[in-house]
Structure 1
Amino acid sequence: MRAPQLFIVREGFQGWYEDVLANHPEEAQQLVARILADTTADEHGCLVTPTTQPRKVRFRGGQDRAYRFVFCVTTGLAATRDQIVRHRCHDRRCVNPRHLELGDRLDNLRDERERRANGVDYAML
């Protein structure tokens, strides 16, 4: 009797980001540069996309929000579906890598509660 074969199940997003980071890093960096060049800087240092909602990008058969793509490519992390790319500035159209950090849904909920209670401290960015 053969031993059962074990395998690792990856989420679609994580596998896509792993492929992008391992096999297409230069192309991904070029797309990030184009995304950042197509923004407007505001008074708080946010690099805001010219859209009404968070911008989406397509790359190598996958699609994701621009801020998540920028974060993953600039940090080299293949974020899972459960990991949230959080905006320290609380502007979902912002793609400034310095304003983005990884967390989970609970972190995101705490951020939102704190923002509603205290506002945004732009000096902390």
Structure 2
Amino acid sequence: MTDREKILEVKLNVEEMKRENAERRAVELEMRLRQSNADNIQRTMEFNAHVAQLQKQLHDAEQATSRTLGDKEREIANLLRQLDRTRQQHEIASIDHQVEILRLERNLLAATRGAHNGTSDCNNG
């Protein structure tokens, strides 16, 4: 084999090694890409599960808040009714008190007139 043939054979071997190396790197890169895709799919599924869990927690919290607000609204309505009844009772008691004062004033006035009439009768008698 001549030197030229030997050089050509070495060049061919180098090219073959480069091609094999490139193929090996391509296979490795493809495997890494597939693994990366699988990892991304797994992380996406975990993320979606976490989002679903957070959505459920939010929904549960909204329902609990709604129930609490409903309870508070009923409590407020109840307190407003009690306040209204108390106010009405106070107004009735105030009217009763005014009526009692007027009755006492009338009795006092009648007694005062009676006393004056009795005194004047005594003076006249």
Q: TM-score, normalised by structure 1?
A: 0.20
Q: Which structure has greater strand proportion? A: 1
Q: Which has the larger radius of gyration?
A: 2
TM-score, with length taken from structure 2: 0.20
